[in-house]
Amino acid sequence: MPEETDALLGSSRRSRSASLSHYLRDEIDTRHSHWILLVCYVITGLLDSSAVLIWGSFVSMQTGNSVYFGLGLVGPSDDRWIKSGVSIAGFCLGSFVFSTLHRLFPPRHRWVLMSSFLIQVVCIGIAASIVTIYRPTRDTPLGWLVLLLWFLFQHNQAARPWPVGYCDATA
């Protein structure tokens, strides 16, 4: 059925930029978003298991980080509690920033979710570059590079599931 704004004599073609703008402002279809979140959970689990094995701290499991942080405050025998504290702080900051982003802009618009994922990919890419170039290990002295690495991994974990309708899921 023709719309009120459709051309009377033939179809009007929108410019490519207008089409792209319209596409990015569209709301996403959330019917199959659980599959995307499942892939994100698997990747997060792989990152977490590798981080605990190599670094001795989690990148996304805040319960484990809370335990390490609390034990470190009671008897700081190593710097695991500092890494956990930075991870928790990054999680809190990421939760604040991205929940604010999703409150200011329509959370189901394609460009908002794409921006959120793009920021996370860039941060993980920077963190992966740091690990590849400098090769820090569990015994590496705690410095700005290690703390930046933990912060970059952590900052955007919280705000991913709820814009697509999974309010009870964590990321």
Paired tokens of 77: 């025998």
Domain boundaries, the chain: 32-164
**Chain Cα centroid distance, residue 145:** 20
Q: Would you give per-residue pLDDT tens digits along the chain (171 residues)?
A: 667 776 666 555 667 777 877 778 888 777 877 787 788 778 878 878 887 887 777 877 888 889 989 988 888 777 888 888 888 888 888 778 778 888 898 877 888 888 888 887 887 788 778 778 877 776 777 777 767 766 666 655 555 565 666 655 555
Reported residue count of the chain is 171
Q: What backbone phi and psi angles, to 5 degrees, belong to 15?
A: -65, 160
Q: How many CA atoms lie within 13 A of 144 on its CB side?
A: 0
- Whether this prediction's pTM lies above 0.75 is answered by no
Q: Determine the Cα–Cα distance for residues 59 and 164; give it in Å rounded to an integer.
A: 23
